Amino acid sequence: MRSEIFGKQMLKTLVVGVSMLSLTSMAAATELTMFYPVAVGGPLTKLVDSLVNEFEAEHPDIKVKATYSGNYSDTMTKAMTALKGGNPPHLSVILSTEIFTLMDNKAIVAYDDLVSSEQDKKWLDSFYPALMENSRTGGKTWSIPFQRSTIVMYYNKDAFRKAGLDPEKPPATWDELVEIGKKLVIKDDQGTVKQWGIEIPSTGYPYWMFGALARQNSEVLMNDSGTETYFDKPGVVQALDFWQKLGKDHGIMPAGTIEWGTLRSDFLEQKTAIMWHSTGNLTAVKDNATFDFGVAMLPAGKERGTPTGGGNFYIFEKTTPEERAAALTFVQWMTQPSRTAQWSIGTGYLGTRPDAYDTAEMKTYVKDFPPAAVARDQLKYATAELSVHENGRIYKILNDAIQSVLTGAKSSKDALSDAQRQTERLLKRYR
């Protein structure tokens, strides 16, 4: 009887001890808040939740609360509002191009100041160089590529066949784009267009599409330090002229503006045979297209070209050393080769590092679905996305200029000259 009582007391003590240990572990867990953009195409929320849960299972001492914060613009606005309110997130996925705005507001820390081991330093150099162009400035790395993309050309192979075109030969040059685009336009008996040859979105992120056209005409829109823009250069003006002529002169694209948010639906509903859009739509198009489709690099003017795009991981300044270390652990875990492959397969976004394409999963995926390799292969022609100080204001200036030309309100030369004068005034103090 005495031994039974003693045994019960020991068991009770053990249970209490385990409970106390569990409570201590819970109390010691580092809690992180992460702002994450969800309105960018593809079923992201479930995948992010799954990855966070998997991370927490492997790292019980770190808890990550993912706050889904709207599109990229919404996420940046909410992050800056929280910063000004003294309660920013610990980390966030924000457009890679916001690097200068976040630096100017002293919002973020450089990863170089967080890593210490040689292995960590090698990790900083493990990503595609083209994707790092928007991550580094002043000799430091301020963000890590994650939800990254390029612009690619989606095309309806069935529409090509109906038009008597080779479905395995999408347009490779601007001239071919015009020639093929004319053959793809379908009109009814009243002359109403039922299917356009091509649609390029000019709302949402028109500056991004314009960056592709400029690069294809051997031009870039800004310098590396974000202090100068080149909107009024003759080659840049010619690129905008070409964009306008696709609708106004060649009649292969609707005149005026084309909505970013509805373009994927237009393509899936076969209202356009070709669309230029983000790599991030790849999985959604794959899952929802009722026709045979292809994906190709953007066509060349003087050369091929596209800006990179998408979001990076930033770690915020207002964090404790423990929170920074935990945030770094999470970002490193999320960007492992196997995780990067999982992310790319699940969303259509780029695998951000070469060794992700060496994983068995990615090799199988690319073999079974070759369009998954197009954006990766196009990186050799890619350049940095437009990113400067006063980013938000300058985006609006350029977007307004582009739209004024596409709607016929201004000439390309006048619109871009005006835009350049405005940006000069804004950027002068940063030189």
Which residue is listed with tokens 């930033």? 314
Q: What is the pLDDT of residue 401?
A: 98
Res 342 pLDDT > 70:
yes
2-148+309-380 and 150-303+383-430: identical CATH topology: yes
Res 4 pLDDT > 50:
no
pTM to 2 decimal places: 0.89
Helix (H) or strand (E) segment spanning residue 390: none
Res 134 pLDDT > 60:
yes
Res 16 pLDDT > 90:
no
Under 8 Å CB-to-CB from 249, ≥6 apart: which residues?
none
Q: What is the pLDDT of residue 39?
A: 57
Q: What is the pLDDT of residue 1?
A: 47
> pLDDT tens-digit profile of 91-121?
999 999 999 999 999 999 999 999 999 999 9
> pLDDT tens-digit profile of 227-246?
999 999 999 999 999 999 99
Q: Bigger pLDDT: 398 or 431? A: 398
Per-residue CA distances from 36 to 49, 90, 199, 255, 407 (Å): 11, 12, 29, 35, 34
Res 252 pLDDT > 80:
yes
Confidence of residue 25 (pLDDT cuts 50, 70, 90): very low
Nearest partner of 64 among 338, 311, 315, judged by Cα? 315
Topology of the domain comprising 2-148+309-380: D-Maltodextrin-Binding Protein; domain 2 (3.40.190)
Q: What is the pLDDT of residue 28?
A: 74
Q: Where are the domains of the chain?
A: 2-148+309-380, 150-303+383-430
Q: What share of the chain in percent tops pLDDT 70?
A: 93
Section 133-140 average pLDDT: 95
Q: Which two tokens stand for residue 265?
A: 């639906």
Q: What is the pLDDT of residue 45?
A: 85
CATH class of 150-303+383-430: alpha beta
Confidence of residue 314 (pLDDT cuts 50, 70, 90): very high
Q: What is the DSSP letter of 350?
A: P
Confidence of residue 285 (pLDDT cuts 50, 70, 90): very high
